[in-house]
A and B are shown apart, each in its own frame.
Chain A
């Protein structure tokens, strides 16, 4: 079975600062990795995904993530955040070739002026 650990439950940051949201996974088989964002009172929206190939993945809204197999990590980064990035971010993993996702507990990104 796969599992996901999001190391920070909350990350406060000032507007225009860079941010990194950390995600580590555990799996004995190859995996697909995803980041989703949830704005208040909404469902989740796909930010980006890694299936195979290049380990640096670019997503929507200026976010990117890097797959590191040796460290079993898939950290999400943005070089300059906006107030509108305030949301909860979820990392998720599935076994390669399977659809069911295991989600982390989420990281709340709080962007202040």
Chain B
């Protein structure tokens, strides 16, 4: 089975800190995605990538950036964390269009 691993299950960071959320998949998937999940809002797409060094903005990219230096790793970066970025962050990967995502277990980030 494909495994998508998010490095931290829970994180607490201070306002203004630079935060790195790491995601690694072990099945050579081309496509990787970062979503945030908030109660009553469902999942919203932050950034995605179809290849190494490639990135595309999703629906809510403001305040975030990403890095994909290796195919298996897709990092989400909060340049200067703010309290409104307190959320559950979900990473997903997909072998190709239409196959369906495999999700990681999520990182619950609290910004204080």
Chain A residues with CB under 8 Å of chain B are: 9, 32, 34, 36, 41-46, 49, 51, 90, 92, 94, 97-106
Instruction: Please report the number of residue pairs spanning A and B whose Cβ atoms sit closer than 8 angstroms.
Output: 61
Given the interface pairs A101-B45, A103-B43, the reply to whether A43 lies near B105 with Cβ below 8 Å is yes
A32: chain B residues at CB < 8 Å are 98
Of all chain A residues, the one with the shortest Cβ separation from B58 is A100
Contact residues, B53-112 vs A (CB, 8 A): 58, 90, 92, 94, 96-98, 100-106
Given the interface pairs A44-B90, A51-B98, the reply to whether A99 lies near B43 with Cβ below 8 Å is no
Chain B residues with CB under 8 Å of chain A are: 4, 31, 33, 35, 40-45, 48, 50, 58, 90, 92, 94, 96-98, 100-106
A106 x B98 contact (CB < 8 A):
no
Q: Please, how many angstroms separate the alpha-carbon atoms of A102 and B33 in the complex? A: 12
A99 x B31 contact (CB < 8 A):
yes
A101: chain B residues at CB < 8 Å are 33, 43, 45, 101
B58: chain A residues at CB < 8 Å are 100
Given the interface pairs A101-B45, A106-B42, the reply to whether A43 lies near B94 with Cβ below 8 Å is no
Which of A34, A43, A46, A97 is most buried by chain B, counting CB atoms within 10 A of its CB?
A: A43
User: Out of A9, A51, A90, A100, which one reaches B45, CB within 8 Å?
Assistant: A100
User: Out of B44, B50, B105, which one reaches A99, CB within 8 Å?
Assistant: B50
